[in-house]
Amino acid sequence: MADIIDGKAFAAGLREKIASQVATIKQQSGITPGLAVVLVGEDPASQVYVRNKGKQTVEVGMNSIEHKLDVSTPQDELLQLIDKLNNDSSVHGILVQLPLPSHIDEEAVINSIHFDKDVDGFHLTNVGRLSIGSEGIVPCTPLGSIMMLRDKLGDLSGLNAVVVGRSNIVGKPMASLLLQENCTVTIAHSRTKDLPQVCSEADIVIAAVGRPEMIKQDWIKPGATVIDVGINRLEAEGGKTRLVGDVDFEGASKVAGAITPVPGGVGPMTIACLLHNTMQQCCRLNGLDVPQV
């Protein structure tokens, strides 16, 4: 049976470290890091995320600023708010919760955030920095995944890593980070031929496709490390729902060396990394030493 990688415990440890870094920043400079989160509309999943982000931001000693806008808010109004936050020296991180309503151009909004206040790592400048391996902000979910991999495996050099999924939020930045760790990286996707075969050669599998339990036991090489980024809500008995990942956990955990569960794996790490990114941007904006992970 595989070792279960406890993302919840890992995230709690990371938050403790961040809280102590925040305390040092306050003591040395008098600055309290501030994270502004903007939510447009009332998508239930987004509301849950935003609430959790706000709560955990305060718990590590940072200021949380929330802006909730009506679903019909014109794009110009959202851009004006971002301009205001860009120029507010008490705000060090700006996150606009995605997805945005269809009348708003997501790319225009993301790139209107100052790149040194971008805590998602989605701004083109930060995407470019990651792709050439220079210092910048790394998207939260891939960052959390790489932290758990390093903790579990130590040096990743020379390992075969297969990333299933090619999104801008997870797949592509994940591949860049694994390459920086000297892995041999394959990005697989919906058009990949013989996906089971490709996965079965991986020492590390990153599942980020958004398809419930798609990756099966016999796709996993014995002893491989499996990071499941998927969060899928399935109907369960009695009208309830249950969360499952992109990996068939029950099957895969019989052959993998280590695996992240859903829930309790990558999910908790994402918000902890958001707090880490906010703390880093606060240091960058104020000319303080930027603590690394």
Binding region for ligand GUN (CB under 6 A)? 95-98, 120, 140
Separation between Cα atoms, residue 276 and residue 293, nearest integer Å: 9
Comparing CB distances to ligand GUN, the nearer of 149 and 269 is: 269
Task: Tell me whether residue 97 is one of the annotated catalytic residues.
Answer: yes
> CB of residue 140 vs ligand GUN: minimum separation in angstroms?
5
CB of 163 to ligand GUN, least distance (A): 17
For residues 98 and 104, which CB has a smaller minimum distance to ligand GUN in the complex? 98
H helices of 124-265, in order, are 124-132, 140-153, 171-180, 195-200, 249-255
How far apart CA 149 and CA 166 sit, in angstroms, is 19
Q: Of the listed 21, 56, 97, 280, which one is catalytic?
A: 97
H-helix segments, 42-183: 44-59, 75-86, 106-112, 124-132, 140-153, 171-180
| Type of residue numbered 206 | I
Q: Among residues 21, 56, 118, 120, which one is catalytic?
A: 120
Kindly tell me which of 125 and 184 has the beta carbon lying closer to ligand GUN.
125
DSSP assigned state of 206: E
From the CB of 231, what's the least distance to ligand GUN, in Å? Answer: 9
In the complex with ligand GUN, the residue whose CB is nearer, 140 or 185, is 140
Does the annotation mark 120 as catalytic? Answer: yes
Q: Which residue is nearest to ligand GUN (CB)?
A: 98
Angle at 22 between CA 19 and CA 26, to 5 degrees: 140
Q: Where are the alpha helices (DSSP H) in 207-293?
A: 249-255, 266-285
CB of 124 to ligand GUN, least distance (A): 15
Task: Pick between residue 34 and residue 156 the one whose CB is nearest to ligand GUN.
Answer: 34
CB of 293 to ligand GUN, least distance (A): 17
Residue 281 appears among annotated catalytic residues: no
Buried b (16+ CB within 10 A) or exposed e, 18-34: bbebbeebeeeeebebb
Query: Which two tokens mark 252?
Result: 């895969």
Enzyme catalytic residues: 53, 97, 120
